[in-house]
Amino acid sequence: MNVDFYEKIWMWAAVGIIVVFLASIGITTFGMAIQPPSHVEMIDPETVLADEEFGDPGVTINVDGSATVVVRAFMYGFVPNEIRVPRGRPVTFRLTSPDVIHGFQIVGTNGNTMVVPGYVSQFTTRFDRAGEYLIVCNEYCGLGHHVMAAKLIVEDVAAGTGGAR
C-alpha cells in the first residue's frame, strides 16, 4: 500500500496527539491526584441551614487523626471562614450550598471542587506543607463573587495525638 509522505506525517501527528492527551490524563490522575470527585450525595438546598451537619459546619478531628471538614458555601462566603487541619493527615471536605453554584479552590493544592445546591461535594486530600492557604470561589456566583474567600491553616500536630479536641 502506498501512503503519501505528507499523509504519513499527519497520521503520525494524530497518533502523537492522542498519546500526549492520554499521558496528560494519566500523569494528572496518578502523579498529581487530580481527578473529578466521584461522590454523589443529594441534599435539599432549602433545609441546608437546619441540617444537622451543614447547619453547624466545622472541622472534626477523627480518632484516627484524619479530619472531616464540613463547609457551607453561600453568597458570598464560606462557613467556617477559617479552617484548621492537621498536616500530613487525610482531610475529607464535605460541602454544599443553600443558594447557587459556587467553587471551592484551595489555591496551590489539588483541593478544588464545584459546590452545587442540592448536592454534597466531597473529596479527600492531604496537605504536606504547613502554613496558610487561600480558598477562593472559582465559579461566578453574583455581584460579591470576587470577595468570596476563606483561609485554610495547615498545622503541625504532635505525633501520637489524634483524639478529638
Burial of 162 (0-12, 13-18, 19+ CB in 10 A): middle
Residue with smaller CB distance to ligand CUA, 95 or 148: 148
Task: Write the single-letter amino acid at 13.
Answer: A
Binding residues with ligand CUA: total (CB under 6 A): 8
| Residues in 56-85 at the binding interface with ligand CUA, rule: CB under 6 A | 76
For cell 464540613, the residue is 70
The grid coordinates of residue 157 equal: 500536630
CB 125 within 8 A of CB 100: no
What is the nearest approach in angstroms of ligand CUA to the Cβ of residue 81?
13
CA-to-CA separations, 5 to 10, 11, 148, in angstroms, rounded: 9, 10, 56
53 binds ligand CUA (CB under 6 A): no
CB 106 within 8 A of CB 112: yes
148 binds ligand CUA (CB under 6 A): yes
Residue 20 region by backbone torsions, left for phi larger than 0, else alpha for psi between -120 and 50, else beta: alpha
Residues forming a β-bridge with 119: 42
| Residues in 127-146 at the binding interface with ligand CUA, rule: CB under 6 A | 137, 139-141, 145
Residue with smaller CB distance to ligand CUA, 61 or 115: 115
What is the nearest approach in angstroms of ligand CUA to the Cβ of residue 109?
19
What is the nearest approach in angstroms of ligand CUA to the Cβ of residue 145?
4
What is the nearest approach in angstroms of ligand CUA to the Cβ of residue 95?
11
Alpha-carbon gap, residue 94 to 71, rounded angstroms: 6
What is the nearest approach in angstroms of ligand CUA to the Cβ of residue 82?
17
Residue with smaller CB distance to ligand CUA, 10 or 140: 140
The residues that touch ligand CUA, with contacts defined as CB under 6 A, are: 76, 102, 137, 139-141, 145, 148
